[in-house]
Amino acid sequence: MAKQAKRKKSAQTAKEKSEKSRFLTISKAANAYGERSFDNYAQIRSVAEQLQTGLCAYLDHERKCVFLVPPQGPFQEQNYGSGAFSVSGKGFLPLEPISFGLGIRVSESGDFLRVVLQCRKEGARIDIQVEHNKTYELDLPLVEKDLEAVLEGLYQHVLHWFTDRVERYDHGNYGTSDIGFDILRIDPNS
């Protein structure tokens, strides 16, 4: 009877160890996921911040003219930090492509155009897609020459958004079904 009790206790201990090892396996996988999702976010945020500061300098404006803003919803003339990213407020940081907005001053009277970018880290490369259109593939770490190509592309994107619409209007064809562009007048006193 003592042997039977000992075997039963041994089987119970093995079962508990098995359950603990399954939990530890999941825990290790979750930790690896968390590390990768944080790396994904950190890499994309670094690129976003470089684009924000670089574009303002590229536009050669005397005042700060580009802000990191949420990819949708209202925004003010300010950088939103982590709130500018699509993964903001999701609790457990998801491992997925991340979107953010650039609020770009387009007039002296406080008008801003939001351009939404989606970034995806692919190994030692990052892909930046502008408004579901052009995609830039950049090697990490970023090199200034590659960043310049994206800055020029963003400048051309915003410029063409306005010039194309003016041309369509001038030729009687200005009704479009474009989505994704927000032009907001921001009152600095609010």
170 located within any domain:
yes
List pLDDT tens digits, range 112-135: 999 999 999 999 999 999 998 899
DSSP string, 21-48: HHHHHHHHHHHHHHHHHHHHHHHHHHHH
CB hemisphere CA count around 182 (13 angstroms): 17
> What pLDDT is recorded for position 173?
76
List pLDDT tens digits, range 18-65: 777 999 999 999 999 999 999 999 999 999 999 999 999 999 878 899
190 located within any domain:
no
Q: What's the domain range around 165?
A: 2-185
111 located within any domain:
yes
The token pair that represents 116 in the structure block? 């939404």
20 located within any domain:
yes
Cβ-contact 112, 183 below 8 angstroms: yes
If you average pLDDT over residues 95-119, what whole number do you get? 95
Query: What's the total number of domains in the chain?
Result: 1
Q: Which residue has the higher pLDDT, 140 or 172?
A: 140
133 located within any domain:
yes
What's the predicted TM-score (pTM) here?
0.81
Q: Which residue has the higher pLDDT, 10 or 106?
A: 106
Closest CA to 120 of 87, 96, 102: 96
